[in-house]
Amino acid sequence: MATKYKLTYFNGRGRAEAIRWLLVYMDEEFEDVRIDSEDWLKMKQTTPFGQLPLLEEDGKPICQSLAIVRYLAKKAGLAGNNDWEDLQLDIVSDTLVDLRTPAGAFVRETNEDLKKAKKETYIKETLPFYMKKLDSIVGENGGYLANKKLSWVDFVFTATLVEFLNQHLGIPDVTANYPHLHALTEKVRAIPQIKTWIENRPKTTF
């Protein structure tokens, strides 16, 4: 019997989108549940750590978006082929977290002056520092973020991080000045199942 997947998240791409891309890449049908804030208030207490996304695999709940991605990636053939390759993926993934975390800090900042200052430092320092390094890595890895082949970190970068940064920096494409990274995102979005998904997914604000 086929595995049954049910993914619950808000009505947006956010931290769920890389999971959705993995599921469509695996040709898995899944229930794509998108809840509103009223549903969330009722549901929050029932989740393991008060967070979404939540994936249910044959009814078993799984939380933490990156943990879910790592788990599905093994089934999708998008993990490493050995411990050294998995190490390279983990290094890139931790680095994507380091690139995202300070962006989250200016997004959540409620004081407008501080928000502006944090965002400026992010745009002038953090972002170019990491993007330049990541662009070189892709240049040296045959067009991928690690191991010279497509992997789950390419999905996380394209589906989650780039969309998050574009939205919160208010720019059309954060990879515009980074040719290797830009080509990578184009390549991932051109994977037939992903292309179809993007064309047909709900249009949402985040």
The footprint of a copy of itself (CB under 8 A) covers 48-51, 62-68, 70-71, 74-75, 83-84, 86-87, 90-91, 93-95, 97-98, 101, 105, 129-130, 133
> Among residues 110 and 205, whose Cβ is nearest to a copy of itself?
110
Please report how close the Cβ of residue 12 comes to a copy of itself at its closest, in angstroms.
20
> Among residues 79 and 194, whose Cβ is nearest to a copy of itself?
79
> Among residues 56 and 90, whose Cβ is nearest to a copy of itself?
90
> Among residues 15 and 20, whose Cβ is nearest to a copy of itself?
15
C-alpha closest to that of 187 among 140, 151, 163, 133:
151
Please report how close the Cβ of residue 135 comes to a copy of itself at its closest, in angstroms.
13
Please report how close the Cβ of residue 51 comes to a copy of itself at its closest, in angstroms.
8
For residues 152 and 162, what is the distance between their CA atoms, to the nearest angstrom? 14
- Which are the contacts of 183, defined by CB distance < 8 A and separation ≥ 6? 138, 143
Please report how close the Cβ of residue 191 comes to a copy of itself at its closest, in angstroms.
23
* Strands 60-63 and 5-10, bridge-based pairing: unpaired
Please report how close the Cβ of residue 80 comes to a copy of itself at its closest, in angstroms.
11
Q: Which strand (E) or helix (H) includes residue 92?
A: helix 83-108
Q: 33: which strand partners?
A: 8
C-alpha closest to that of 177 among 17, 156, 169, 121:
169
> Among residues 2 and 203, whose Cβ is nearest to a copy of itself?
2
- Which are the contacts of 164, defined by CB distance < 8 A and separation ≥ 6? 14, 100, 103
